[in-house]
Structure 1
Amino acid sequence: MTTGKTFAYIRVSSKEQNEARQVNTMQDLGVHERDIFTDKLSGKNTDRPQYQALKAVLREGDTVIFDSITRMSRNMNDIKAEYKYFIDNGISLQFVHEPMLNTHATAGVTKNEDVLQRAISDIILTLLSAFAEKERTDIRERQAEGIAAAKRKGKRLGHPTLTYYTLTLNQKELFNEQYKRWKGGKQTATRTMDNVGMKKTTFYKVVSEYESLIGGDFGH
């Protein structure tokens, strides 16, 4: 039997969030950059361009890796329906943070054992998908409360101008790491921009500032 290809799917909820950790995880697992599909959209449903594009290229015997079940969706019914879709179409699933939900070949497993395993997986899937949906509801409530509180205090909502000098320590560490991977030929400029969560104009401005500090020597 021919072994299928391995793909990865990554999702963050907004353009401001950074997917670099998930990307690095997938690359460490051996997934090629061209086989990683990324959406920067809410998990309220599965109507996401790259997710649907991934499903369109999948064939029986392929494998899809998710960082977590929540990257597939944050809607309980959608998660259960998508999970069943992949199984019914012969697509193996791997979840970095919920390996108990990984699907695999059942050769050598008796019919009764297979039924029991599926029953246990269904129970776990239902519980985790319910938690995923509740967490999304809680996040939305906290965001609404935060916005309302900021408005009451008269705070101006929005994002300050981004420069290398205004990055936090963690953001600088991430940028420095991604910059070295880019300059070392390990990834494209576009992937680097996505990983650090910057638009093209901002990215090259920050690069210029960074290089002026290090004298263009990205080895330090």
Structure 2
Amino acid sequence: MKIYGYCRISTREQSIERQQRNIKALYPTAIIVNEVYTGTKVEGRKEWNKLLKAVQSGDTIVFDSVSRMSRNAIEGFELYKDLYEKGVELVFIKEQHISTSTYKRALNNNIQLTGTAVDSILKGVNDYLLALAEQQIKIAFEQSEKEVKDLQQRTREGIETARLNGKQIGQIKGAKLITKKSIEAKAQIQKYSKDFNGTLKDIEVIKLIGISRNSYYKYKKELTQELGVTNE
């Protein structure tokens, strides 16, 4: 039986290390699975899909919070039930009340029927307890989804306020965006690339400085223009 820790961030501004620390603090042997720069839905999450194929009955998946599993209420609840039915334990550090161990207790702690007329009442109580447990799970995913919608709404309102105040929204067409990352990347490209001051090929520089191919060639083109370098 294996324990997996699933960590996910949606933007470069977020830190995945906090999630890793929280999981490792409670489950030191957890196999950490990192997913970076994803949307709110499960679709398109390559590492998550790999994990779903690898996980087996008796295994455990640990999340820092329910939002790391899904920020879509319907999708999240269905995924929760599918994994539960496969025998996979789900642990949510910040929402322990919806971990599968709690759900399992709601299923197993049914009041025993007596074989008398009272059973109709007892069955109603059991059904109510199960529905209550499922409702708690749904509420957790719904809250996670609401947080995304609220953030999107605040962003839209902030952009509209800035626009009404005459501020430039977004990058001016044709303008080159200069960031700390681009400055550092260009300095490394100039240092290591054989087309500038170095001896390495493009693919070697990409691996060395750890950026994507698209970013590398974008920065290299800009650098060539800035330095007036011509590649014969």
TM-score normalised by structure 2 residue count: 0.60
- Structure 1 stretch displaced more, 146-155 or 9-18: 146-155
Counterpart pick for 1:154 among 168, 175, 188: 168
Counterpart pick for 1:48 among 45, 48, 54: 45
The superposition leaves residues 41-87 of structure 1 with CA deviations (integer Å, 9 ceiling, x where unpaired) of 12134431111111111000000001111111111101111110111
RCO greater where, 1 or 2, for CA within 8 Å and sep 6 or more?
1
- The alignment partner of 1:131 has SS state of helix
Measured in 2, the distance between the counterparts of 1:102 and 1:13 equals 23
- The alignment partner of 1:121 has SS state of helix
RMSD: 3.0
- The alignment partner of 2:68 has SS state of helix
What amino acid does structure 2 have at the position aligned with 1:6? I
Superposed displacement of residue 101, structure 1 = 0.6
Matched residue, 1:120: 132
1:134 paired to 2:143: no
- The verdict on how the C-alpha distance between 1:33 and 1:148 changes in structure 2, with shifts beyond 3 A counting, is farther
Measured in 2, the distance between the counterparts of 1:159 and 1:75 equals 35
CA contact (8 A) 2:6 2:61 kept: yes
Matched residue, 1:102: 99
- The verdict on how the C-alpha distance between 1:17 and 1:110 changes in structure 2, with shifts beyond 3 A counting, is closer
CA contact (8 A) 2:40 2:71 kept: yes
- Structure 1 stretch displaced more, 123-132 or 64-73: 123-132
- Structure 1 stretch displaced more, 142-151 or 46-55: 142-151
Counterpart pick for 2:74 among 73, 77, 89: 77
- The verdict on how the C-alpha distance between 1:19 and 1:109 changes in structure 2, with shifts beyond 3 A counting, is same
- The verdict on how the C-alpha distance between 1:139 and 1:92 changes in structure 2, with shifts beyond 3 A counting, is same
What amino acid does structure 1 have at the position aligned with 2:58? G
**Structure 1 segment 178-217 matched on structure 2, within 5 A:** 200=210
Q: Which runs of no fewer than 5 residues in structure 2 stay unpaired?
A: 113-125, 172-176, 183-208, 212-232
- Specify the structure having the higher radius of gyration (Cα): 2
- The verdict on how the C-alpha distance between 1:48 and 1:25 changes in structure 2, with shifts beyond 3 A counting, is same
- The verdict on how the C-alpha distance between 1:91 and 1:33 changes in structure 2, with shifts beyond 3 A counting, is closer
Matched residue, 1:19: 16
The superposition leaves residues 84-131 of structure 1 with CA deviations (integer Å, 9 ceiling, x where unpaired) of 01111000010011000111265x944338766533321111222222
Measured in 1, the distance between the counterparts of 2:28 and 2:47 equals 16
Matched residue, 1:30: 27
CA contact (8 A) 2:7 2:35 kept: yes
Counterpart pick for 2:157 among 138, 142, 145: 145
- The alignment partner of 1:135 has SS state of helix
Measured in 1, the distance between the counterparts of 2:83 and 2:150 equals 28
Matched residue, 1:209: none
Count of residues in correspondence between the two structures? 163
Measured in 1, the distance between the counterparts of 2:47 and 2:53 equals 10
